[in-house]
């Protein structure tokens, strides 16, 4: 499996970078479409995304580096080498949210939760696409499996998951498919204007975290915090916090309009 897609002179263009760029591009188009439907200023949204996207990449990389500090302390030149892989989605969400929150608080006519709702479907779509970058880097896979098990998958998946003579669980594929399903659910939800602000964003956290918790249990490259897998801990916390948010938002809406 060659992680390099093509060369432009002396410049090597990695599949990982191509899929990340594709994820961001489609995500921006989709977010702009939903902004128009929700009557959110698209110019301000574009400015927001130009701030959020680099912040998300920086956050994703820093998160990954911090939990692999032993390696990066010994190889500091690898810290900015994102094309080698090593972007943690939870770090990206934190970095993007903080940057977006900072921008929205300083901008008129933008509110945090309506904007978060229109970004959520774009975010999960980007995750579904981005996992294919992991495939070409032969990372984010699970433990060993038999040739009989892997034979149930398409031939190109089998070849990609054959690493040093051993087949592995294509956990990148499991997460990509789950993210695709969550994307469809969020698309359905965002068309329901009766939902309180923040419902779509919090549903994203719950649904993605649910799938990630189980997929993470199969992976061999988990970021660890002692005996715990960091992604599983963050997933559980995200589900709890988002569920509490939805409960109180729904309760508040029912009090405000008991006839609904």
d(CA 86, CA 64): 6
Measured CA to CA, the distance from residue 17 to residue 85 in angstroms comes to 9
pLDDT of residue 253: 75
Query: Rounded CA gap, 120 and 64, in Å?
Result: 22
More confident of the two residues 122 and 12: 122
Question: For residue range 236-258, what is the model confidence (pLDDT) as tens digits?
Answer: 999 999 999 999 988 887 765 65
List Cβ neighbours of 18 (8 Å cut-off, separation of 6 or more).
Answer: 5, 133
Q: Which residues contact 191 (CB under 8 A, 6 or more apart)?
A: none
pLDDT value of position 109: 84
Q: Decide: 32 and 116 in contact? Cβ < 8 Å.
A: no
Q: Burial-class residue 226 by CB neighbours within 10 Å (0-12, 13-18, 19+).
A: exposed
CA angle 54, 223, 72 (to 5 degrees): 65
pLDDT at residue 1 in the model: 79
pLDDT computed for residue 256 by the predictor: 55
Mean pLDDT score, 116-129: 97
Domain boundaries, the chain: 4-256
The 10s digit of each residue's pLDDT in 184-235 is 999 999 999 889 999 999 999 999 999 999 999 999 999 998 899 999 999 9
Summarize the confidence of residues 93-115 as an average pLDDT.
Answer: 93
Question: What's the pLDDT band for 2 if we cut at 50, 70, 90?
Answer: confident
- Percent above pLDDT 70 for the chain: 97
Q: Taking the complete model, does pTM exceed 0.75, yes or no?
A: yes
């Amino acid at each position: 499996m060659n992680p390099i897609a093509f060369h432009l002179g002396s410049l090597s263009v990695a599949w990982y970078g191509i899929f990340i760029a594709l994820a961001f591009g489609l995500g921006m188009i989709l977010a702009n479409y939903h902004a128009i439907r929700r009557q959110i200023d698209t110019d301000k949204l574009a400015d927001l995304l130009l701030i959020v996207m680099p912040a998300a990449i920086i956050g994703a990389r820093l998160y990954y580096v911090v939990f692999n500090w032993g390696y990066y302390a010994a190889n500091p030149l690898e810290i900015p080498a994102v094309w080698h892989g090593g972007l943690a989605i939870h770090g990206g969400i934190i970095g993007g949210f903080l940057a977006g929150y900072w921008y929205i608080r300083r901008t008129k006519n933008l509110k945090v939760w309506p904007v978060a709702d229109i970004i959520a479907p774009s975010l999960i779509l980007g995750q579904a696409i981005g996992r294919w970058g992991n495939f070409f880097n032969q990372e984010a896979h699970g433990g060993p499996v038999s040739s009989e098990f892997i034979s149930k998958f398409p031939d190109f998946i089998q070849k990609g998951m054959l690493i040093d003579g051993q087949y592995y669980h294509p956990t990148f594929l499991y997460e990509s498919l789950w993210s695709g399903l969550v994307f469809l659910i969020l698309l359905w939800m965002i068309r329901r204007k009766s939902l309180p602000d923040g419902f779509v964003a919090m549903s994203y956290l719950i649904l993605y975290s649910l799938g990630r918790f189980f997929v993470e249990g199969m992976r061999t490259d988990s970021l660890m915090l002692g005996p715990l897998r960091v992604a599983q801990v963050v997933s559980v916390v995200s589900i709890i916090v988002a569920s509490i948010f939805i409960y109180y938002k729904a309760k508040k809406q029912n009090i405000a309009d008991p006839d609904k």
